[in-house]
């Protein structure tokens, strides 16, 4: 492994830790000596990387640091291209356009050899399954980002309709359907709502009383329990 690759791996390793991590733990994770780790930390700090801490106390990379486009591995490029191409073929038009634009921006800042690898990727995405939902998934995503309530008319598998007010905190993408994961005020519980059964979607300015991440964490803890809609 070249030194530039090792420094890049160190940055990525620090990104995975939100709290200070000891130099020895970092050295063990990277498979290098503690002395080499200290030298690499000093090198990155000298190049402007906002790494805080010192030997014996641990190190943390301040959020917001942007890496220059040094390199991507072959598999990283394949993952970027494949993921972007899949999203670009989804029925959510705004998300689809965003994926195409993001891939173009990444290509624009890559070195020439890596840009050629990106353009020449042979991992292809097949035609998407036809989606029949008639709602704007962009409104759902915006409500999730802003932690706002949504109102809509929902029809269950038997066709029975009910009006719902929910606190959306996740959106699942499957081949043939999109699923809104939310806390339902009517059921006073977590529920999964198929987007193709939602009608009369109404975005509100009402902030729901809990944080999105807290709801997501609590919902994940319930996944082993059977739930209906």
Q: Is the residue at 191 inside a domain?
A: yes
Co-location of 55 and 12 in the same domain: yes
Number of domains within the chain: 3
Co-location of 167 and 196 in the same domain: yes
Q: Is the residue at 22 inside a domain?
A: yes
Co-location of 57 and 93 in the same domain: no
What's the start-to-end Cα distance of the chain, in Å? 52
State pLDDT tens for residues 179-201: 999 999 999 999 999 999 999 99
CA dihedral 148, 154, 157, 158 (to 10 degrees): 160
Co-location of 170 and 216 in the same domain: yes
State pLDDT tens for residues 135-153: 889 999 999 999 999 999 9
Q: Is the residue at 148 inside a domain?
A: yes
CA distances to 48, 70, 219 from 189, rounded to whole Å, are 48, 47, 10
- Report which of residues 8 and 170 the model is more confident about: 170
- Reply yes or no on whether the pLDDT at 35 is more than 70: yes
Q: Is the residue at 68 inside a domain?
A: no
Q: Which residues, 6+ apart, have CB-to-CB distance to 151 below 8 Å?
A: 163, 164, 165, 166, 200, 201, 202, 204
Tokens, residue 118: 């990106």
Co-location of 141 and 211 in the same domain: yes
Co-location of 142 and 214 in the same domain: yes
Q: Is the residue at 157 inside a domain?
A: yes
Q: Is the residue at 227 inside a domain?
A: no
Share of the chain above pLDDT 70, in %: 88
pLDDT at 194: 95
CA distance 41 to 84: 33
Judge whether 182 and 140 are in contact, CB under 8 Å.
no
CATH number of the domain bearing residue 166: 2.30.30
């Amino acid at each position: 492994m070249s030194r530039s690759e090792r420094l890049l791996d160190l940055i990525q390793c620090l990104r995975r830790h939100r709290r200070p991590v000891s130099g020895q733990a970092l050295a063990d994770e990277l498979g290098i000596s503690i002395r080499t780790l200290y030298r690499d930390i000093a090198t990155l700090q000298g190049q402007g990387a906002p790494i805080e801490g010192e030997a014996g106390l641990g190190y943390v990379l301040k959020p917001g640091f942007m890496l220059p486009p040094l390199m991507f591995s072959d598999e990283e490029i394949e993952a970027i291209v494949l993921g972007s191409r899949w999203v670009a073929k989804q029925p959510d038009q705004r998300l689809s356009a965003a994926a195409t634009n993001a891939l173009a921006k990444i290509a624009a800042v890559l070195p020439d050899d890596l840009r050629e690898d990106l353009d020449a990727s042979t991992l292809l995405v097949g035609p998407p399954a036809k989606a029949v939902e008639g709602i704007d998934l962009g409104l759902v995503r915006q409500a999730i980002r802003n932690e706002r309530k949504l109102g809509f008319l929902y029809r269950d598998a038997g066709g029975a309709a009910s009006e719902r007010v929910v606190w959306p905190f996740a959106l699942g993408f499957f081949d043939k359907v999109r699923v809104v994961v939310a806390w339902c005020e009517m059921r006073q519980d977590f529920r999964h709502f198929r987007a193709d059964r939602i009608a009369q979607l109404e975005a509100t300015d009402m902030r729901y009383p809990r944080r999105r991440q807290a709801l997501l964490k609590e919902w994940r803890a319930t996944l082993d329990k059977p739930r209906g809609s």
